[in-house]
């Protein structure tokens, strides 16, 4: 297990379970038999030869508290891992939101493989949902997308396949780590060196590049409260075409547009609660270190820092500020020696996470205000046993000290955005989700004129 | 918070959440409106002035890790505490069992009052269920029964009242602790003294009373495995009249008959798995220290030890052995000075619990094989908003090192027995529940001849 993977095990607390999930909404096939869901559950529960990470259990060893390791098991209790649930009537967004929020607050049993899959019937308009939860130590967002893609068909094919069922990509050899320097075995000393290197290069780059955002330069805000056990989850869909069109007009990336939209929504939401800081909110923006075809489990993610320009009212000006910061971050990363890039996560995220775990978040300046993530998902429509995958939302982790995580996953024509918050800190999360649509409209109008 | 209450907070681990629950099954009223459940949820979620223990939150203080204390809050998030769920079709015992097992493995959020209430619709035959979960630090079984009684009516009355809603008994002053020696403020020194006293008197009594069962005299068994996070729950109903009739014939107590029935079921179940120890299984049997009208929150329970005579094949002989041990325990307790009795729990249960928490259960002899509990519940039929309470099952705690808890609650003509096990240790818990009925039949036959 890499140092980053292990950190997700070691830093897990009652208040901050370290799992991520995919919430998938399906349309029942037009000709679905009455026992379609029952069959799906039966199929998902039928014993198959599991590969990693689905068969991985935390090893019990004298030092496993310090250096957790995984070991494979040959059999698992499918009745436990695959749950069959139902929504109370009318099975709308509200009922689904409540169930998912509650499920997401429950951590994974450490005596078993660290995942569960919940098949939820009773959604209105002849739909059902699957909530697939996996420990972050086992897979990052990009890896999770591979599992989603592997178990779906591109056609309304009738065969049902579980995400853990003979996933071909788990057998393919990871092709990226041809350069062994890319997946170094890291010790704490390496991380310390990386922290020093990152700090030095940050300082250096900042002097040469005033747009570069440094960690721990974020203002205090409502987003940096104490995370408790319970979750609140909200969702929103943004049309990718619209994001792209704006990006093209403005000469920026689609991700800049997404960050700018999130910034505008947060600005409006916090203003309404008299909680908008004078200085702009700062987001940590994960980026994947995986090269094409790298299907290793675990985490291959690093972080960059971006402004959300929440101090700026003008949509177009805000977008330009966001772009300037992400562009500076890109330059900074590219200037780093490639083998050091994987250390960025440890170097940048570790102080934040350690501070959170040690309960120091109220004493330290926030390393960032929140994490805003964007994971490329399936481009075309997918089917599971003939059921069309209507939407696919990520549900992620509010780390201690950052009460909100916003993650987007592209699927077909939409960027599906999941807002995962600590329940008490952000009572009106659905409003924030709605505001992100309004923000997209506004930004679009700014470029139409 | 008493030392015993505090222990339930401090000894709580990921693997052993320390909450208990009541599972109540209702018949919908014959004239129920289609929105009966919705109204029930709305009513349960409507803000009311909460009393203890429903408004009690763990206090945050520098020493709260060592000496947890509770503090009252004036407002709580009812949408969080009251959950509305549904069973997938057909809503039978299997689906309900799965849901309850899963809910019971989830621990309570420590930033909120330590209880949740789950209203479950979609049970077959026009029924619904309520699963009410509360931390054991807040209430013992007898106290829980008071809450159940307080929110129900004796007639098919239409008004719906929540268990936490103006419960009259929470306002009445506890009348038992007139003798302040009965609720002493205990320090660790007192517990140590009690351990010594208990040990001495045990030794003394054992010499004079060979029937007295001592702690740590239980044989190793499958029931003393490692408890993991997930639960398995099974239920059974035993007719109280039958228990009483046998008790009368045999000249023993109804509880002796219940213990004997449980012993016979465990004997059959473990034999079938080649896991029956040569020596008899030993149960820890909690008894209430509450005097009539004592409605204080928290725990007022002590333990005695009983043989389940699982080494004996003859039902009537087994019952006599069980009775001899409970009778000896009673004599022993009565011989103790009354003010020392409350210390029995700490003195007898603490070593077991501490050993469990410290992961020493595999090195030490088991203090007991399991806990078998029996709580007096409501005698006559109860109603909630016109819905008849059909059954009321306790769901309890497998402590570390004892993978099974068996608790019975009397309600009307039945003793409703809840079997709560650690999921992997006892895969066929429902079979054990069935065997307890067979055991009652056998015992009855033994006294008919």
User: Are residues A221 and A116 part of one domain?
Assistant: no
The residues near B260 (Cβ < 8 Å, ≥ 6 apart) are B308, B309, B315, B318, B319, B322, B439, B443
ipTM of the complex: 0.88
pLDDT in tens, B253-302: 999 999 999 999 999 999 999 999 999 999 999 887 776 667 777 777 77
pLDDT in tens, B357-366: 666 666 777 8
Beta carbons of A84 and B105 less than 8 Å apart: no
Domain-located, residue B122: yes
CATH number of the domain that B416 lies in? 3.30.559.30
What was the pLDDT predicted at A342? 67
What was the pLDDT predicted at B426? 84
Domain-located, residue B176: no
> What distance in Å separates residue A40's CA from the closest CA in chain B?
13
Chain A residues within an 8 Å CB radius of B105: 109
Chain B residues within an 8 Å CB radius of A33: none
Beta carbons of A229 and B111 less than 8 Å apart: yes
| Chain A residues within 8 angstroms (CB to CB) of chain B | 14-15, 37-38, 77, 79-80, 83-89, 95, 98-99, 102, 105-107, 109-112, 121-122, 228-230, 423-424
Residue B186: pLDDT over 60: no
Beta carbons of B88 and A87 less than 8 Å apart: no
pLDDT in tens, B198-215: 777 766 666 777 788 877
Number of domains in chain B: 2
Preceding amide of A53 cis, omega within 30: yes
User: Are residues A220 and A120 part of one domain?
Assistant: no
The residue of chain B with its CA nearest to that of A119 is B88
Mutant choice from A65, A75, A78, A89 vs B, greatest count of B C-beta within 10 A: A89
Give the confidence band of B171 by pLDDT, cuts at 50, 70, 90: very low
Q: Which of B84, B102, B121 sits opposite A83 (nearest CB)?
A: B102
Mutant choice from B61, B86, B233, B428 vs A, greatest count of A C-beta within 10 A: B86
Question: One digit per residue, pLDDT tens: chain A, 449 residues?
Answer: 777 788 888 889 999 999 999 999 999 999 999 999 999 999 999 999 899 999 999 998 777 667 888 999 999 999 999 999 999 999 999 999 999 999 999 999 999 999 999 999 999 999 999 999 999 999 888 888 888 988 999 999 888 999 998 654 433 444 343 343 434 455 666 667 766 777 777 666 667 777 888 777 899 999 999 999 999 999 999 999 999 999 999 999 999 999 999 999 999 999 999 999 999 999 999 887 776 667 777 777 778 889 999 999 999 999 999 999 999 988 888 877 777 776 666 666 666 666 666 666 667 778 899 999 999 999 999 999 999 999 999 999 998 889 999 999 999 999 999 999 999 888 899 999 999 999 999 999 999 86
Domain-located, residue A384: no
Q: Give the pair of three-digit tokens for residue B100.
A: 């309850």
Q: Which of A98, A102, A110 sits opposite B14 (nearest CB)?
A: A110
User: Are residues A368 and A239 part of one domain?
Assistant: yes
- Rounded Cα distance, B429 and B422, in Å: 10
Task: Say if residues B384 and B26 touch (Cβ distance below 8 Å).
Answer: yes
Tokens 């409209």, residue?
Answer: A441
What was the pLDDT predicted at A43? 96
Catalytic residue among B81, B104, B135, B136: B136
Domain-located, residue A116: yes
Active-site positions of A read 136
What was the pLDDT predicted at A190? 67
Preceding amide of A113 cis, omega within 30: no
Greater model confidence, B344 or B132: B132
- Rounded Cα distance, B146 and A47, in Å: 46
Q: Which of B84, B105, B111 sits opposite A88 (nearest CB)?
A: B84
Measured from the Cβ of residue B90, the count of other Cβ atoms closer than 10 Å reads: 12
User: Are residues A293 and A343 part of one domain?
Assistant: yes
Domain-located, residue B386: no
User: Are residues A118 and A222 part of one domain?
Assistant: no
User: Are residues B314 and B214 part of one domain?
Assistant: yes
CATH number of the domain that B92 lies in? 3.30.559.10
The residue of chain B with its CA nearest to that of A85 is B88
Preceding amide of A90 cis, omega within 30: yes
Residue B147: pLDDT over 70: yes
Domain limits at A186? 181-378+393-448
Task: Say if residues A233 and A418 touch (Cβ distance below 8 Å).
Answer: yes
User: Are residues A60 and A160 part of one domain?
Assistant: yes
H/E element holding A149? helix A141-151
Domain-located, residue A126: yes
Give residue A310's region: left, alpha or beta (phi > 0; psi -120 to 50).
alpha
Give the confidence band of B123 by pLDDT, cuts at 50, 70, 90: very high
What was the pLDDT predicted at A345? 63
Residue B306: pLDDT over 90: yes
Is B136 one of the annotated active-site residues of the chain?
yes
Domain-located, residue B251: yes
Residue where a domain stops, chosen among B146, B171, B196: B171
Tokens 């140590």, residue?
Answer: B192
User: Are residues B403 and B335 part of one domain?
Assistant: yes
Task: Say if residues A307 and A258 touch (Cβ distance below 8 Å).
Answer: no
Residue where a domain stops, chosen among A169, A204, A222: A169
How would DSSP label each residue in B144-210?
HHHHHHHH-BSS-------TTSS-HHHHSPP-GGGSGGGS----HHHHHHHHHHHHHHHHHHHHH-T
Give the confidence band of B349 by pLDDT, cuts at 50, 70, 90: low
Measured from the Cβ of residue A190, the count of other Cβ atoms closer than 10 Å reads: 16
What was the pLDDT predicted at B176? 40
Q: Which of B86, B89, B106 sits opposite A87 (nearest CB)?
A: B86
Residue where a domain stops, chosen among B142, B171, B200: B171
- Rounded Cα distance, A280 and A278, in Å: 7
- How many residues appear in chain B? 449
Beta carbons of A106 and B111 less than 8 Å apart: no
The residue of chain A with its CA nearest to that of B88 is A86
Closest CA to B371 of B421, B411, B446: B421
Beta carbons of B122 and A88 less than 8 Å apart: yes
Chain B residues within an 8 Å CB radius of A230: 80, 109, 111-112
User: Are residues B219 and B163 part of one domain?
Assistant: no
User: Are residues B157 and B82 part of one domain?
Assistant: yes
Domain-located, residue B76: yes
Chain A residues within an 8 Å CB radius of B79: 98
Beta carbons of A86 and B83 less than 8 Å apart: no
Beta carbons of B110 and A229 less than 8 Å apart: yes
Return the sign of the alpha-carbon dihedral for residues B242, B247, B248, B253.
Answer: negative
User: Are residues B342 and B245 part of one domain?
Assistant: yes
Chain B residues within an 8 Å CB radius of A37: 88
User: Are residues A234 and A104 part of one domain?
Assistant: no
Beta carbons of A88 and B89 less than 8 Å apart: no
| Chain B residues within 8 angstroms (CB to CB) of chain A | 14-15, 37-38, 77, 79-80, 83-89, 95, 98-99, 102, 105-107, 109-112, 121-122, 228-230, 423-424
Closest CA to A319 of A374, A375, A245, A371: A245
């Amino acid at each position: 297990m890499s140092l980053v993977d292990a950190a997700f095990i070691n830093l897990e607390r009652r208040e901050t379970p370290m799992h991520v999930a995919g919430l998938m909404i399906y349309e029942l096939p037009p000709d679905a038999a009455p026992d379609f869901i029952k069959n799906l559950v039966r199929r998902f529960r039928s014993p198959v030869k599991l590969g990693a990470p689905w068969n991985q259990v935390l090893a019990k060893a004298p030092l496993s508290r310090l250096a957790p390791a995984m070991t494979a098991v040959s059999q698992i209790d499918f009745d436990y891992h695959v749950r069959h649930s139902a929504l109370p009537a009318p099975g709308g967004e509200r009922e689904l939101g409540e169930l998912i929020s509650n499920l997401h607050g429950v951590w994974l049993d450490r005596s078993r493989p660290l995942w569960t899959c919940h098949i939820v019937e009773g959604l209105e308009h002849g739909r059902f949902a699957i909530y697939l939860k996996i420990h972050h130590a086992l897979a990052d967002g990009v890896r999770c997308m591979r599992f989603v893609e592997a178990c779906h068909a591109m056609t309304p094919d009738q065969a049902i396949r579980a995400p853990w069922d003979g996933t071909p990509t788990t057998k393919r050899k990871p092709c990226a780590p041809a350069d062994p320097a890319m997946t170094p075995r890291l010790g704490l000393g390496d991380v310390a060196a990386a922290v020093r290197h990152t700090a030095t290069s940050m300082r250096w780059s900042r002097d040469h590049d005033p747009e570069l955002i440094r960690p721990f330069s974020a203002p205090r805000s409502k987003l940096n409260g104490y995370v408790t056990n319970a979750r609140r989850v909200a969702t929103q869909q943004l049309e990718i075409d619209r994001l792209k069109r704006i990006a093209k007009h403005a000469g920026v990336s689609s991700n800049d547009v997404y960050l700018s939209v999130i910034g505008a929504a947060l600005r409006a939401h916090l203003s309404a609660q008299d909680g908008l800081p004078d200085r702009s909110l700062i987001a940590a923006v994960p980026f994947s270190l995986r090269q094409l075809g790298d299907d290793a489990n675990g985490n291959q993610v690093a972080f960059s820092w971006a402004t959300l320009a929440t101090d700026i009212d003008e949509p177009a000006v805000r977008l330009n500020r966001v772009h300037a910061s992400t562009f500076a971050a890109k330059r900074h990363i590219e200037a780093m020696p490639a083998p050091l890039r994987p250390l960025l996560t440890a170097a940048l995220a570790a102080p934040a996470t350690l501070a959170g775990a040690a309960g120091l978040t109220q004493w330290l300046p926030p390393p960032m205000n929140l994490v805003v993530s964007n994971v490329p998902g399936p481009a075309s429509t997918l089917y599971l046993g003939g059921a069309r995958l209507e939407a696919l939302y990520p549900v992620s982790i509010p780390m201690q000290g950052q009460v909100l995580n916003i993650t987007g996953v592209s699927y077909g024509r939409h960027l599906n955005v999941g807002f995962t918050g600590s329940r008490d800190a952000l009572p009106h999360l659905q409003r924030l989700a709605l505001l992100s649509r309004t923000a997209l409209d506004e930004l679009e109008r700014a470029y139409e004129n």
